[in-house]
Amino acid sequence: MKYAACIEYDGSAYFGWQYQDHAPSVQGDVEAAISRVANHPVKIVCAGRTDTGVHGIGQIIHFESESDRSIDAWQFGTNSNLPDTAVMRWVKPVDDRFHARFSAGARRYRYIVLNRDTRPAILSKRVAWTRKKLNHELMHQASQHLLGEHDFTSLRAAGCQAKHAVRTIHDIGVSREGDFIYLDVKANAFLYHMVRNIAGTLFTVGEGKNSVDWVAELIAKQDRREAGATAPAGGLYFVHVDYPKQYELPEEYHLPWFNV
């Protein structure tokens, strides 16, 4: 049987999603937990790998097993073997053609910035922070230049292993509630550090260092050196993955939100 599952995790506890011999990873913990329930080694495939410190709310995986287990046994058995920093939110059998990565139509991220004079304490690893006053309306206007298909070389990290930098952003926007600024972006796929580079670049517009139209010029230049700095990992959340309706996966998701 092949199963799809949704994993939520606190990225501050891990050195990224991908398994590592020398450091804790989300993949390592989840594979170990599922393997204990299956009573045999299980390998998982995720919709999109996240970096050190990046959080996941709607990370989707798939795995295969011949072990006869109920859905409750897979979910609650896995969760009983996971640390407090990760949890399986749901699991269901899927068609053999389903692939967590290659069947995905789009992925959604949210980036959260606390914009006030004092740094956060309780949320120190949950949000980014800047004391510089940000104009979220200008940031939103600038973000609209990123909609559609573009070569995002200017927002691609040096270590990116993708064959090309062309991606399609379906939806992007910046909003503010109190001291918190939210950047929401949905695309068919993302480059290494792309969302964090978008955030860092929009910060420069929000601070008044660059104009709204400068973002369009930046994309045209295809030069990473011209963009803003990579924003901190702690503010980034992997929120949701869209799949074709034929796989009948849950479509509902929630966005992380704070009011402190």
- List the structure tokens of 143: 């973000």
Residue 257 falls within a domain, yes or no?
no
Q: Is 109 annotated as a binding residue?
A: yes
The reported pTM is 0.95
Residue 27 falls within a domain, yes or no?
yes
116 and 217 in one domain? Answer: yes
Q: Residue 146 sits in a domain of what CATH number?
A: 3.30.70.660
Beta bridge partners of 180: 114, 177
162 and 46 in one domain? Answer: no
Options 29, 51, 184, 242, the catalytic residue: 51
83 and 155 in one domain? Answer: no
Residue 169 is classified by DSSP as E
110 and 99 in one domain? Answer: no
177 and 120 in one domain? Answer: yes
51 is catalytic: yes
pLDDT over 90, % of the chain: 95
For residue 218, give its domain range.
106-239
Of the residues 103, 131, 164, the one at which a domain ends? 103
* DSSP-derived 3-state class of residue 71: helix
Which of the four pLDDT bands, split at 50, 70 and 90, describes residue 259? Answer: confident
pLDDT tens, position by position, 116-136: 999 999 999 999 999 999 999
The H or E element that residue 108 is part of is strand 106-115
Closest C-alpha among 241, 232, 237, 159 to residue 197:
232
160 and 224 in one domain? Answer: yes
Q: How many domains does the chain have?
A: 2
165 and 86 in one domain? Answer: no
Measured CA to CA in angstroms, residue 36 lies from 94, 101, 238 at distances of 21, 24, 26
